Structure 1
Amino acid sequence: MPLSVFRKSFTKESKILLLGGEGYIGSHLFQKLNTHGFSRVYSASRSAKNPGSLRVDLEHCPDFDQIRNAKFDVVINLTGQITRPIESCLAQNTVGIQHLVSACADSTVLIQLSSVGVYGSGDFAEENSPCNPETPYSTLKLVAERLILNGLPDDRRLILRLSNIYGSTQPKGVFAYLKRTAGSDRVLDFNNDGSLLRFFLHVEDLCQAIVQVLDNYDKIKDPILNIIGKDKFNIHQLIDLFEEKFRVKYQRNFEPVKPYDNMRSISDDRFRNLTNFEEMFTLESYVNELVNYAH
């Protein structure tokens, strides 16, 4: 990549499309962008339930004529966050990405949300570290990255590799499982030995981070940015936290299997030095919210 990339600047009048904008992250980001003063934010999804949303299926090529003809300044792709069925993940992160790259080919900037899972397992990773994904999901996220990096010029694509996202309306995931089980039989079953380590970032903090990426887009010189939450917990530590806050005792059942995509330290200094970003939320305060809501 060239040492200097001349990227466009975005303004509050820039035309922004959130692909997957009616999903978990997308709905939060739509609100955050509007609150931040962006006046031309549009949403697209397969179902398009909200008024004014575009109906776009990543696997259906004619749908992308809408994106191409609308001449958006930037498309933020929030889709592809699928683990089951893997066929859908495969289609969205290959054929779907190829359709999207084609739709953005004239002048649109594409920002792709990816995963730090692409690094695989190890002691430390940064953006220049080799990728060694260990799950089908992470592998397909890396495939999507490669298609975008090879399909669009340097100044019109950006990959954001994210750690685990959580928040108050999240319907699935380990927090929902721990909360639900605290109110039922309190028996936990995990398919690893409990050493699974994850970095957690609140969805509102993620949305603020993306706003700051847009505000500083013209200063970015790299094709990939990590955005990592400072809260770091393994499964045992998460269970300890929930036991303390919910005042319960779980039965913990683990399999003697090492977890996949288990990186022990990940740097996002590149992003934080660019934006001076700091989180507003902590995982402990979120669990306190769950306790208060349960009662």
Structure 2
Amino acid sequence: ADTLIGLAEYMPGELMSEALALARTIQSASDRSRALSKLAEYMPGELMSEALAVARTIPSASDRARALSGLAKYVPEVVSEALAVVRTIQSASDRSRALSKLAEYMPGELMSEALALVRTIQDEYYRSRALIGLAKYVPGELMSEALALARTIQDESDQAYALIELAKYVPGELMSEALALARTIPSGYFRSIALIGLAKYVPRELMSEALALVRTIQDESNRTDALSGLMRQLKTIEADILLWKDAFHTLTYQGRNYFITNIPNLAPATISLAGGDKAVLTLVAEAMRDVCRQWP
């Protein structure tokens, strides 16, 4: 197998049929799958059907799915067959890896079936990994289904990281649903991790909702971390005195230098709350300066 893999790049097309015949004789299912996937990268189109026939001889479902996934780039119609093979894989880790590998070549009309397969993975870690692997390729109309699938993950860490990956591709109209899911994470630590991951994708109109979610985190350190993740977007905060006060209070927990550095991010909200009154803004600035002078 390793010899075939090493020679694949340099093998002339007229010898590729012979290489496929050799691949068919490899006893190890894993090695046959590896060799076939590598040969596929350099194989003439007219031999793809022969390569597919070799892939179908692999007895192990996991290795057969891997081989079919390697061919899917060149034979798109193989994806449906590969999904059917993935369904027969018993190992949670192998099923997760097979789905992730196949995701790149999966047409939108098969993604719902793929998500249904993710749901059948009992091990939450591997369910999360499969969801992360699919996230980039889930069409917008199925993202709500993907978020619902993330909700089925009970492990806080696995759920948080699945949510973070999905957030990169969640349409704006579903971000509120993503924030609602983050709110259900019991641990303040993992809720803050989720918020940090979501932060850069939160649209302006949901910033108050995101900041309100920060306020639900009891631990000051975790709360500060979550707020830090939102810091760049804090310029869009609505003129809400409670959120403004909470933002300032939470910033102070991080220390004097951090507080001073991030004051400009709250400037738009501060000006808005002051109604643009220069006298009020002067008093606020003087109060901040006095506090910072006495702050070690």
- Classify the TM-score, shorter chain: under 0.3
| Bigger helix fraction | 2
Higher relative contact order (CA 8 A, sep 6+): 1
